Amino acid sequence: MGGKWSSMDPSQVEVPEIKTLLERDPYLKQYEIDIRRRYALFKDYVEKIEEGDGDLRQFTTAYESFGIHVQDDNSVVAKEWAPGAQEVFLTGEFNNWQKTATPYKKLEYGKWELHLPPNADGSCPLKHNSEIKLIIKSHNNELLERLSPWATYVTQKPDKSEGTTYKQRIWHPENTYKFKHPKPKKPESLRIYECHIGIGTQECRVGTYLEFARDVIPRIVKQGYNTIQVMAIMEHAYYASFGYQVTSFYAVSSRYGNPEELKELVDVAHQHGLYVLLDVVHSHASKNTLDGLNMFDSTDACFFHSGSRGEHSLWDSRLFNYAEYEVLRFLLSNLRWYIEEYGFDGFRFDGVTSMLYHSRGLGQGFSGHYDEYYGLNVDVEGIVYLMLANHMLHEIYPEIVTIAEDVSGMPGVCRPVAEGGMGFDYRLAMAIPDKWIKLLKEVKDDDWKIGEICWTLSNRRWMEKAVAYSESHDQALVGDKTIAFWLMDKEMYTHMSTLSPHSEIISRGIALHNLITLITHALGGEAYLNFIGNEFGHPEWLDFPRIGNADSYHYARRQWNLVDDELLKYKYMNNWDRAVNMLEEKYGWLHAHPGYVSWKHEDDKVIVFDRSDLTFVFNFHPVKSFADYPVGVKNPGTYKIVLCSDDEQFGGECRIDTNVQHFTQPESFSAYQNKMMIYIPRRTAIVYAKNW
């Protein structure tokens, strides 16, 4: 695009707050031209949208006119964008499946429109829940069956022998769900519970929206989480894709129920004070043609880049053409649809790294050198789309939160668009789970490098907020193992009973699971994420029904009975997870300044850091406990223990009297002028607070 802004000398393009960005990171100065050029392209897009549609607000409500709409008088108005079609028809139960009996009228710019009057008796010609299809006549005179890209409800046949292609249905019920509860305020500290509706049940089947609202949300609230991040909501043909091969972007998955039931789930979450994030996939789309966007207008372009640029070789999916005006309309309106129709409070954008680089991040090890973020490999169109999305969302919805899944570490991803950034609020700290899994797989406890752990947990861009996590859905999938399973799989089936003989493997596993949870939570970022079930060390992996496992649901569920059984040790990890969340709620370390590591000792395997008026002490040593261990503290006075992993309720050995007061001495130690002497047993974490 060569608009007014992008055709200017980039050095002359005004970026309102770029000075702030460059002062924070002087290394960006030599890339200032690139940053200004991106901003110029962003401004061009905004101006083109304003010229074509008035403003971004109007442009991003395209779902009000595109797709199929039943009017108040029961007439039907429909509109599609299919620039490669020769003709477009609507067929379905309403016209006895006559393919070419109901044609659309051709408009300008590849658009097509249809008006259907009410029936003679005043009823709607398209009955609620009736099936319809679009027929696209190609320039080769083929009649191709398609679903509308704007379809709001699609279903599969329950009998798999009849095929699994989705059918588009008219969703126009007499009674729609009315939201009863106000949206909660955006939390200062995001404690995120990443979840999947289908696996939320204990039974070997797909769980439902209403079951999740009834059975799982109370658990989440009790655990001290204030945010849920819901996965696999946008309709996807292949259940085992975890929702990442989207076929219908405006339809919520009918596997779990209907659209009104999802609204009820979101409303119940709001009733409990939970902020609700949607895992949104705008990085790619399913290759399906009969029920996806691929080849919609009979060409390989339309929504996507044509040729090899439009295909993701690893994901076997299609890549959007973010420079296309109608693609921007479709995707930006999609974000607003989920807020306006379903009440979602924000988004976690999947696959952002793929959107930022022409390589899609494949086979690319990001060293952190800034040339990688501003060279020819950068896909500026993808960057500008994300700038537009964040600009639009934050302008219209001030309480929104957006999170980027980006492994590359590109500067400015989590800085405002006005600075020349991309506008996200948070990015996922993806190096942290990789570090924990690598340690558990490859390194003996004795050889853990304490300095490396601290570096991984604290190495993030200044004033770009990160979501810390030790494991997410990625680590739970078949082919990998959860942290609990890496630690304890050898005896998880035999020694998790409180009545079974002592097991060093289980004791070590629970202790390290608890330490990893706390240090990641308290040092790793400005928000925290846990994947459903990992709070109690869910055993085994996650594997969806597929041919390779004989369509089994055995591993596609959550075994809540394990944590509910008082005779099993899963309760210890669950108790710890809850206690950590409750302590964060009280002291708010996630929205405080980053933690300051004042002591890290390789031989002792001890880490001490401060955050939000708390002092955190960790002893990762497998065998050594330390009496009278010196800990430097900022303020003199008396300190109390507010959390200790050695307590019985957390599976500890009860070696510490948590009622003991600790008095400081006016002697300098580590970075501070005062110290206190503590007892810190092996594989134990203790949190101290000052008695004010």
Examine the residue annotation and report whether 345 is marked as an active-site residue of this protein. no
544 in Cβ contact with 243 (< 8 Å): no
> Beta strand pairing status for 614-619 and 317-318?
unpaired
The answer to whether the CB of 331 falls within 8 A of the CB of 284 is no
Nearest to 610 by CA among 638, 589, 627: 589
Report DSSP state, residue 672.
B
Instruction: Pull the structure tokens for residue 213.
Output: 């609202």
| Nearest to 425, CA basis, from 85, 188, 71 | 188
Non-local (6+) Cβ contacts of 663 within 8 A are: 637, 638, 639, 676
Of the candidates 635, 558, 610, 661, the one whose C-alpha atom is nearest the C-alpha of residue 198 is 558
Give the residue from 200, 85, 143 showing the smallest Cα distance to 556: 200
d(CA 641, CA 139): 75
Q: What is the DSSP string of 476-526?
A: HBBTB--HHHHHHTTTTTTS-BTTSPP-HHHHHHHHHHHHHHHHHHHHS-S
Q: Catalytic site residue 474?
A: no
C-alpha to C-alpha distance for 7 and 13, rounded to whole angstroms: 10
Nearest to 311 by CA among 287, 293, 292: 287
User: Would you state the structure tokens that stand for residue 51, as one six-digit string?
Assistant: 């010229």
Q: How far apart are CA 146 and CA 289, in angstroms?
A: 7
Name 41's bridge partners.
none
Residues 6+ apart with CB under 8 A from 455: none
Q: Which amino acid is at 347?
A: F
Taking the C-alpha atoms of residue 510 and residue 208, their distance in angstroms, rounded to an integer, is 32
Which residue is it, tokens 């304890």?
A: 488
User: Which token pair is 690?
Assistant: 């000052």
Strands (E), 151-233: 154-155, 167-169, 190-196, 227-231
* List 267, 297, 405, 471, catalytic entry: 405
Q: Which of 607, 628, 618 is nearest to 580 (CA)?
A: 618
- Identify the active-site residue in 350, 381, 425, 526: 350
Q: Which residues pair with 626 in a beta bridge?
A: 680
Encoding tokens for residue 549? 């496992």
**Using CA atoms, how far apart are residues 529 and 468, in angstroms rounded to an integer?**
6
Residue with tokens 């329950």: 158
Q: Which amino acid is at 616?
A: F
Q: Tokens representing 643?
A: 């959390």
Buried b (16+ CB within 10 A) or exposed e, 52-78: ebeebeebbbbbeebbbbbeeebbbeb
Angle between helices 32-53 and 380-396 (to 10 degrees): 60
Active site residues: 350, 405
